[in-house]
Amino acid sequence: MPIKSSPWAAIIRRKVREVLNMAPGFGQTEAQLHEYVGDLCGFPVSLQELRDAREWNHEHGFIRSEDDDATDSILWYITKSGQAQQKI
């Protein structure tokens, strides 16, 4: 079932922002996000649910990605818009 129809979608989306907002300016890999979001949610979050939530936040401008050549991975960061959304 896609996250867009999941009753937990909004919670997972918020937790993605919460994790990234804990250390703004420091990027997180997908694996780190998956681990931390699952810990904060208190229930198992599938990798697909995480990706859907991450993509939703990205489409809304709340998070951004950047290639990290040193680790050959993509890092995810919260944006100013994402920080403002967290304060609501």
pLDDT interval class at 27 (50, 70, 90) = very high
- Dihedral, CA of residue 66, residue 68, residue 73 and residue 79, to nearest 10: -30
pTM of the model: 0.88
- Per the CB < 8 A criterion, the answer to whether 85 and 17 are in contact is yes
Note the pLDDT of residue 71: 87
User: Contact 65/77 with Cβ under 8 angstroms?
Assistant: yes
**What's the pLDDT score for residue 10?**
94
DSSP 16-82: HHHHHHTSTTS-B-HHHHHHHHHHHHTS---HHHHHHHHHHHHHTTSEEEEEETTTTEEEEEE-HHH
Please give the pLDDT value at position 36. 97
pLDDT at 3: 45
- For the chain, give every domain's residue range: 3-87
- CATH entry, 3-87, from 3.30.420.40, 3.30.390.50, 1.20.810.10, 1.10.10.10: 1.10.10.10
